[in-house]
Structure 1
Amino acid sequence: MKKIALALTAIILTTVGCKSNEENLKFTDKVEKAHHKQEFLAKEAVQFDLKLEFGGKERIDAKITILTNSTKGVIEYKNGAKIIFNKDKVFYSSTIPSEESVRFDAFTWEYFFLFPYKLSDPGTVWNAYDNKEKDNENYLTEKLTFKSGTGEAPDDWYVVYADKKTNLLEKAAYIVSINGGKEAAEKNPHAIQYLEYKTVDGIPIATKWVFWGWEDGKGLTEEIGHATLTDIKFVKADTDYFTPGADFKTK
C-alpha cells in the first residue's frame, strides 16, 4: 500500500509540476510551442494557394511559396507573373496585377502566414496588454512593438490574442504605418482572425483568415475582407524558382 501511495504522490507531483511549468512559460513560448515552431523551421519551404478578397473584390489569387526562415518568397499569379523577394529586395514581372502595391504584397501576406513563428524575432518587444473586451477571459493577450530599425515598418504594432485553451493564435490587431505614418494608422487599426486550423505534417495551420476593423476595448468591429488558404504543403526549395528573370523589375 505504501508503494502505491508513493507512486500516486509522485504522479500527482509530476502532473502539478508540468502544469506549473506550462503556466510559467512566456506568452511567446506558449504560442510558438502550440504552433510547433521548431518542427516548422525544420522544413525547408512551405507553399499554399491564397485567395484574398477585400470589400467584395478579389485582391489576390495566387500561389505563394516561402522559405520557412522567411528570407525568400515567391507570389505566382494565374497568368504566370511573379513577385520574388530576397530578404529586403523585391523583383517582379511587368505583368503583375498592381505595380503600386508590389512591396506591400511581397511582405504582408507572407508575414501574416508566418506570424506565429516570428513572435520572438530580433527586434520584437512584448508588453502586457489590458484586454477590456467582453470575452477577454478566453484569451492570452499581449502587445507587440518593434525596436527602431526593425523591418519595413518598425512603427507598426500588434495586439495578439491566443486561445487560452490551445495557445493557438486566434487574432491579431495591427496598424499599417508604412504609407501614412503611425499617427494616421492608429486612427484606423485592423485585425486578422485565424480560423479553421488544419494539421499539415503535424503542424497546425489556419486555412481561413478574416479581416476586421478593430477598436481598443471593443475588439473586432466590422468585417472588411477574408481569405482562404488551400493546397498547403511543405516543399523542397528550388533555387531557380526563387531567381528573378533578366527582365524583372525591382522596387
Structure 2
Amino acid sequence: MKRITLILITLGLLACDQKKKEEKVVPEVKEEIEQIPVEADGGIGDGALSITNHFIKSIEKAHKKEKFLKHKAISFDIKILFNGKEHLEGKITMLTNSSKIKIDKKDNSSLVYDGEKVYLHPADANDKGARFDMFTWTYFFGFPYKFSDPGTKWEMQEDRKLGNKIHSTAKLTFEDGIGDAPDDWYVIYADPDAKLLKAAAYIVTFGSDGDISKAEADPHAIQYKDFKPVDGILFATAWEFYGWTAEKGMTDKLGEATVSNITFIEDTGNLFDDPGNSKIIE
C-alpha cells in the first residue's frame, strides 16, 4: 500500500513538473495591429472611384461622352444676347474633341481655329473679342466632354440649391499653362437625379495679364435649360447667364443664348483651313 501511494505521489510530481515545462516553452505571441486598407484618392469602397471621379464620370455618362466623341464634328446655330443687345449670331462648327473650330457670323465674317492659329476673315473685319468668342462659346457647348482633359483639377464642394432643387457641386481649376486662361475656375452643378450638367459658376480672366482680382470680385454663371436629344444625346438649347456669389448662388440675370439646328458632321473637308484674305488673331 505504501508502495502504491509513493508511486502516485511521484507521478503527480512528474506531471506538475511537465506542466511547468510546457508553460515555459509556450512561444511569445506579439500583438499585431491590423492595417486597414485605405482606398486611394478618397475612394468610397473596394475598387471604387473616388467621390470626385464618380461625380465627373456620372456627368460624362449622362451626356453620353463616348457616343458624342465617336462623331467627327458637330455644328449648331447660336444667338447670344447680353443686357438685351446682340453679342453674337451665327453658325459654329467644331470637331467633337474641340481641336478645330469655325464660326460663321451673321455679318459674313468668320473665325477659324486650325488647331494652332486663329484666323479672322476678311482681314479688315471687326476683331474685337474675336479670340474670346472663338473659344468661350464652344467651351460652354462642349463643357460636359471636357471634364477629364489633361490639366484639370477637381475639388468637391457643398451641395447648393438651384431653383427648387439641391444639386451636387464641385470646383474645377487648371494647372499652369493650360489654355488661354489657366486662372479661370468653375463651380459645376450636377442634377442629383439625371446627373446632367445644369449650371456652372465661373470667372473670366482672359486678358487680365495675371491680375485676376477684378474677375474674382465679379463671378458669373451659366444655367443650361431646355435639353433636347440629337442622335440620343441631350443638349441644352437655352442658356441663361447670371451674376453669382458663393453665398447666394444665381443673382441678377445678365444675358441669354439660344442654340438650334444641332447637327453631327462626319466629313469636314477643308472647313478648318486658313480661309484666305485673313489675319491671325493673337
- Coarse TM-score class (shorter-chain normalised): 0.7 to 0.9
Change (3 A) 1:48 1:117: same
Unaligned regions of 5+ residues in structure 2, if any?
1-47
Match of 2:154 in 1: 126
Report the structure number with the largest CA radius of gyration.
2
Q: What is the aligned residue count?
A: 233
Matches of 2:171 and 2:164, distance apart in 1: 14
% same residue: 44
Q: State the Cα deviation string for residues 25-49 of structure 1 (Å, max 9, x = none).
A: 6111000000000000000101000
Do residues 113 (structure 1) and 162 (structure 2) align? Answer: no
Identify which of 226, 241, 247 aligns with 2:271: 241
Matches of 1:62 and 1:132, distance apart in 2: 34
* Contact map agreement 2:168 2:190 (CA 8 A) in 1: yes
Aligned-pair CA distance for 1:246? 2.4
Do residues 196 (structure 1) and 226 (structure 2) align? Answer: yes
Q: State the Cα deviation string for residues 109-131 of structure 1 (Å, max 9, x = none).
A: 00000101001100000002134
Identify which of 87, 91, 115 aligns with 1:63: 91
- Superposed CA RMSD: 2.3
Deviates more, 1:86-95 or 1:56-65: 86-95
Unaligned regions of 5+ residues in structure 1, if any?
1-19
Matches of 2:96 and 2:159, distance apart in 1: 31
Matches of 1:50 and 1:122, distance apart in 2: 28
TM-score by length of 2: 0.77
Change (3 A) 1:50 1:135: closer
Match of 1:89 in 2: 117
Aligned-pair CA distance for 1:94? 2.9
Match of 1:13 in 2: none
Aligned-pair CA distance for 1:78? 2.3
Match of 2:105 in 1: 77
Matches of 2:105 and 2:129, distance apart in 1: 14
Match of 1:145 in 2: 173
Q: Which amino acid aligns with 1:163?
A: D
Identify which of 148, 160, 180 aligns with 2:188: 160
TM-score by length of 1: 0.86
Deviates more, 1:177-186 or 1:112-121: 177-186
Identify which of 245, 258, 279 aligns with 1:228: 258
Which SS does the other structure have where 2:179 is aligned?
coil
Aligned-pair CA distance for 1:56? 0.4
* Contact map agreement 2:52 2:156 (CA 8 A) in 1: no
Change (3 A) 1:208 1:96: farther
Matches of 1:97 and 1:249, distance apart in 2: 9
Identify which of 186, 202, 206 aligns with 2:216: 186
* Contact map agreement 1:208 1:227 (CA 8 A) in 2: yes
Aligned-pair CA distance for 1:149? 0.9
Which SS does the other structure have where 2:195 is aligned?
coil
